Amino acid sequence: MFKLLIAEDVKTVRDTLVHSIPWERLGIVLLGAVENGEEALTWMDREEPDLLLTDIGMPKMNGLELIAAVKARNPEIRCLILSGLNEFEHARQAVKLQVLDYVLKPIDPVEIEAVLSRATEELRKEREERQGVAFAVQSVKEKLPNLLESLSPAEWSGSLKKKRLVEQALQYIKEVYTHRELSLSDVADSVGLSDKYLNLLFKEVTGTTINHAIIRLRMEEAARLLKDPAIKIYEICDQIGYTDQDHFRESFKKQFGLTPTDYRNKYL
């Protein structure tokens, strides 16, 4: 169930929204319906919604100001505008504020229901994607148990959004780390960020750089392969994305304190 808060100054509209929408059928819990932006923010101090449905023309704080304040508090809250102000400037500001949808008065409960159905579907997909990323990261942790412990402090810092971006980057690295030409730019492109910003974000959350994370993954995989005497060392070098065996040897020794040959002999 998703939680929704309504901000609408006209009582008849507010009452219609409260009583004419099949909230439970839409998978929504209606937290309440307030008269203006200030009341909405006060409500959010007690309980945050997943969705905000707000009028634009309200006293004390209009809808666009409310959305800007809400986004500053929590960018994950999805906002929908309900308004009789059919003006391009308001629509353009709504786009800038990443408003999910824009519905004009007079309200049509059928249209409102359709808009909310689309909104909850989008939120549901986001949650599923988030759970998928968490599962993928857990899978990496199970397969390479030393990786995330070495990358993450006991308590990851930063917002949920930062963590999710880093988890997505980690998942991408896990999928392609054996590619010879893998670069910071490739990882940054996979999450839609600049090289510099992603690397700073990655280090803030995990305590290491993306390049070091790639090297650590490659060395963990090399260590696993070295325990199989049927695989030649030059083949391992190639499989984990290294073209230079000397470079591979130096990286491996730096990671484990042994050359690949010595490491293999230790486990045979």
**Model-wide pTM > 0.75:** no
207 falls in which pLDDT band (50, 70, 90)?
confident
Give domain status of residue 97, yes or no: yes
As for how many domains the chain has, the answer is 2
Looking at the fold, whether 87 and 174 belong to one and the same domain comes out as no
Under 8 Å between Cβ of 37 and 65: yes
Looking at the fold, whether 119 and 169 belong to one and the same domain comes out as no
Cα 189 to Cα 30, 126, 131, 165, 212, distances in angstroms = 38, 20, 22, 12, 18
Give domain status of residue 188, yes or no: yes
Q: Which of 95, 126, 157 is the last residue of a domain?
A: 126
Which whole number is the average pLDDT over 196-203?
Answer: 85
Give the closest residue to 264 by CA, choosing from 224, 237, 235, 234: 224
| pLDDT of 89 over the 70 cut | no
Distance from C-alpha of 93 to C-alpha of 164, rounded to nearest angstrom? 27
Predicted local distance difference test score (pLDDT) of residue 87:
53
Under 8 Å between Cβ of 174 and 141: no
Render pLDDT for 24-57 as a digit per residue (tens, 0 to 9). Answer: 999 999 999 999 999 999 999 889 999 999 988 8
Looking at the fold, whether 152 and 115 belong to one and the same domain comes out as no
Predicted local distance difference test score (pLDDT) of residue 128:
74
Predicted local distance difference test score (pLDDT) of residue 134:
54
In CATH, what number is assigned to the domain containing residue 97?
3.40.50.2300
If residue 54 lies in a helix (H) or strand (E), which one and from where to where? strand 51-55
| pLDDT of 246 over the 80 cut | yes
Burial of 165 (0-12, 13-18, 19+ CB in 10 A): buried
Half-sphere CA count of 246, side-chain side, radius 13 A:
0
